[in-house]
Amino acid sequence: MIARGPHQLQLRLPLVAAVLAMLAALATGPAASAQQTGPTPVAVSTVVSRSVADGRSFVGSVVPVRESTVGSTVEERVAEFLVAEGDRVEAGQPLAKLRTRTLEIELAGAKAELEAMRQELAELENGTRPEELEQGRAELARAAALRDFAQAARRRIEGLIRNRQASAQELDEVVSNAEAAEQAYNSAQAALDLLIAGPRAEQVARARAKVAAQEEVINRLEDRLAEHTIVAPFTGYVVTEFTEVGQWLGRGDPVVALVELDRVDVEASVIEDDIRYISVGTSARVEVSSLPDKAFTGDVALVVPQADLRSRSFPVKVRLTNEDAHGSPILKAGMIARVTLPVGPEHPALLVPKDALVLGGPSPRVYVFEPLSGGDDPALGTVQPVSVTLGVASGGLVEVTGPLEVGQRVVVQGNERLRPGQEVRILRTIEVEADGASPEAPAGDSTDAVAATGTGG
């Protein structure tokens, strides 16, 4: 065997790596090339004409739909603090746990007492046992025998008295014994009757009331125990921590501050002259300067009918559905936004679905589909970018100004990575509904293939 030194091994390593890279390229090259040269699957919609009002932009801020400072309802020391700032929490999720050892001991004792009361109630409800009835009958028979014996003795002494063979004292004694035996017999008979009748209804009702009262004691203790676990009142994000493990909390002391960001409001101030055009449900378009590649549309959720006396403007809130990116909402509380609202006379305008807009460049643009001239397949064609200026929103549509025509088809899915002149194939046409909304793609639709390419808009 020929020994090879470290220097010879170092010379061979680059050669082996080059051979492996060449084999990998030969194995994957044709498939990758075919995937890149094929037409890109897209979904399209059409440019429509509608009458819309003139738009005006107002500066606003993103605010949570709900925010709450969650406090403690009891006084106790913090045993566990389960969240941190920035965490997303679900409604009902524990935020902190307070010390509960004393309450747990009280609850265990109350449950043991309840079990004893239930057993007493069961004993009353089950009535007299057969063995007790037998015992009662035996006592009655014994009392009857004693009564009969005492009566016989009395009769015998009375006969002796008539013959002057017994004293008056002896007569008094047997009379007393006979009466006592009669009373003992009556008592045994009454006891047997009670055993046969069973417990009184009042006794059973009293035992049931005791059980019910003890159950309420346990409910109160369990409620107090539950109060020692502080939970989130709604789904949101922790934005402030007010306590930590070991800290003593008083009644009403804050634990965390929560904000709901699954939906957000963009609050803007609308001047007095324009507020008459705005009502709940009015469509609005929102731009966020820190998210230049995102287009947002929503509806007015609230118009406050009280103006700021200094600016003579009215607060208006536009509600948006937030999006999640890497576990964090893209719209965060406090972001600056610009809201475009329809506040003027109506005019005819061209509109496209919001998803047709490609943002983030020098200007907004849409990709217009152009079928191949002389082609046999109407779903095959190319796309060309068209720069547009944005106006107001109308449902899921946005007003655009640019070199477009009614009926032109624009790409609404798969448009973010398109290039001018790129060849595409239409897999689905999304029709614009009468209210301007775009229907959702059903499960298993061909738009899944659009998303699978990684080029969906």
Which is it for strands 365-371 and 88-89: parallel, antiparallel or unpaired? unpaired
CATH tag, 71-100+229-256: 2.40.50.100
Domain residues of the chain, as ranges?
Answer: 38-64+259-452, 71-100+229-256, 108-223
Question: What is d(CA 278, CA 283) in angstroms, rounded to the nearest whole number?
Answer: 9
User: Residue 2 burial (CB < 10 Å; 0-12/13-18/19+)?
Assistant: exposed
Q: How many CA atoms lie within 13 A of 16 on its CB side?
A: 6
- The answer to whether domain 38-64+259-452 and domain 71-100+229-256 are alike in fold is no
CATH number of 38-64+259-452: 2.40.30.170
Q: Sort strands 409-413 and 40-46 into parallel, antiparallel or unpaired.
A: antiparallel
Q: Which residues contact 92 (CB under 8 A, 6 or more apart)?
A: 231, 232
Cβ atoms 264, 319 nearer than 8 A? yes
Helix (H, G, I), strand (E, B) or coil at 173: helix
Pairing, β 40-46 against β 423-429: parallel
Per-residue confidence in pLDDT tens, the chain, 457 aa: 344 444 443 434 444 454 444 444 444 444 444 345 689 999 999 999 999 998 999 999 999 999 999 999 999 999 999 999 999 999 999 999 999 999 999 999 999 999 999 999 998 888 777 887 788 888 888 888 898 888 888 888 888 877 777 788 887 888 898 889 889 988 988 887 777 777 788 888 999 999 999 999 999 999 999 999 999 999 999 999 999 999 999 999 999 999 999 999 999 999 999 999 999 999 999 999 899 888 899 999 999 999 998 989 999 999 999 998 888 899 999 999 999 999 988 899 999 999 999 988 788 999 999 998 877 888 999 999 999 999 999 888 999 999 999 999 999 999 888 999 999 999 999 988 755 555 444 433 444 445 433 333 3
pTM of the model: 0.66
Give the DSSP per-residue string, 293-306.
Answer: T--EEEEEEEE-S-
What is the secondary structure of 200-247 as a DSSP string?
-HHHHHHHHHHHHHHHHHHHHHHHHHHHTEEE-SSSEEEEEE---TT-
